[in-house]
Amino acid sequence: MTTPAPTVLARDLTMTFGRTRALDGVSFELVPGVTGLLGPNGAGKTTLLRVLATVSAPDSGSVHALGLDPRHTDQRLDMRGRLGYMPQEPGFHARFTAFEFVDYVAILKELHQRRARHQEVRRVLELVGLGAVRGKQIKALSGGMRRRVALAQALLGDPDLLVLDEPIAGLDPEQRLRFRELVSQLGEGRTVLLSTHQTEDVVALAQQVLVLHLGRLRFVGTPLELAGLARGHVWQSQERDPGALAAWRTGTGQHRNIGNPPPGADLLEPTLEDGYLLLLGGDQVQEAAA
């Protein structure tokens, strides 16, 4: 099996806000499919997504997406025409109806022919299951519906690259399931970069994972590889192991510990979350030791 050609190439991205380094030499490649971007609050996820969406320019480093370099205005425009961006806070115009809002964004995306644009707006609203409420004002929609409106506008023009900033945050389980289903379909044939706090979303959707922490890329690989980082570092015990980096009581009444197990520990099969926690926790341990 051959590896598909990368659609996004990021090299040594650096971005600073005052004294804070939001991105610190970040390099990665994305291929078609869903890529999960994990990281705690303040890790730099939104900054990275804004750079990929051409909203911000990095202080240094480069991004090439879909064969285009956004440093050149013509190519940046082309790139914007081929990407869909769902910001963490889309900034809804509450008095617009769902249709009017998506139509407005469609105009900003230069879908200029009225009839074709309206068809496209109806298509994306149907795609996210909002066809029946397209005439409702956004302020009258539930939080989950608003997230779907935000996703709908990102889908305008059937983009090749989708950049979704925490699209599943705040949704109830049923809505999350629908969202996963939709994002999974979208990931077939196009590149989707999805940031989230939720490791289970990454497990469910992503073929590739990026872990960002304090502006640095800590991991690039598959979900299995991320989980594999914790192999031999997860064990269960009756009591919380004081030597563990993290430990919690599970539904079985046993404690699940992550860290360096004591000799003879009852090792468990690691999950992606274990790998993620170990990655971040290990870093914290090293920092403390230093």
Partner 1 sequence: MTTAIEHDDRSPAAGSPGGVPAGARSRRSMLALAAVESGRLLRHPAVLAATALSVWLLWRWGRGTAPVLHYADIATQVPLAPLAGAALLATNLAVLRPHRDGAVDLYGATRLSLARRTLAHLLSVLPLVALGGILVVADLAWLASMPGSVGTPHLAEAATGLALIALGGCLGVLLGRLVRSVALAPLVLVALAFGSLTLAELQIGGHDQRPWTWLGTLLRAPPFDPPPAALLGRPATWHLVYLLGIGVALAALALWRSLAQARARRRAQVAAAMVLVAALAATAAAAVVQTRPTSSALAERRLAVVRNPAAELVCQRRGPANYCVFAGFEPQIDLWEPTVRAVVAAVPPAAAARALPVTVAHRVGLHRLIDEDVNLGVQEGQGPSGPMVAPVGTAWGRDGPLFELAHARLAASVAARLVAPTRGDGEEPQWTPCNAQAVVALWLGGQASPQAAEGISQAVTDPFSEILVFSHDPVLDDPQWGVRAGRFALTLLDRPRDQVTQTLWRNWDLVTAPETTIERLGEVLGMQPPSGADC
From the CB of 14, what's the least distance to partner 1, in Å? Answer: 10
State the DSSP string of 180-231.
HHHHHHHTSSSEEEEEES-HHHHHHH-SEEEEEETTEEEEEE-HHHHHHTTT
Q: Using the minimum distance from each CB to partner 1, give the nearer residue, 58 or 282.
A: 58
From the CB of 253, what's the least distance to partner 1, in Å? Answer: 46
Q: Where do contacts with partner 1 occur on this chain (CB under 8 A)?
A: 15-18, 50, 53-59, 70, 73-74, 76-78, 80-83, 85, 87, 89-94, 100, 103-105, 107-114, 117, 153
**How wide is the angle at C-alpha 254 spanned by C-alphas 269 and 249, nearest 5°?**
95
Q: What is the enclosing helix (H) or strand (E) of 84?
A: strand 83-86
Q: Are 235 and 241 in contact (CB under 8 A)?
A: yes
From the CB of 17, what's the least distance to partner 1, in Å? Answer: 7
Tell me how far apart the alpha carbons of residues 281 and 283 are, in angstroms, rounded to a whole number.
5
Q: Using the minimum distance from each CB to partner 1, give the nearer residue, 103 or 273.
A: 103
Work out the angle between the directed axes of helices 173-186 and 143-154 (0-180°, nearest 10).
10
How many of the other CB atoms lie within 10 Å of CB of 33?
18
Q: Using the minimum distance from each CB to partner 1, give the nearer residue, 53 or 230.
A: 53
From the CB of 204, what's the least distance to partner 1, in Å? Answer: 26
Q: Using the minimum distance from each CB to partner 1, give the nearer residue, 45 or 80.
A: 80
Q: Using the minimum distance from each CB to partner 1, give the nearer residue, 91 or 173.
A: 91
From the CB of 186, what's the least distance to partner 1, in Å? Answer: 17
Tell me how far apart the alpha carbons of residues 102 and 93 are, in angstroms, rounded to a whole number.
10
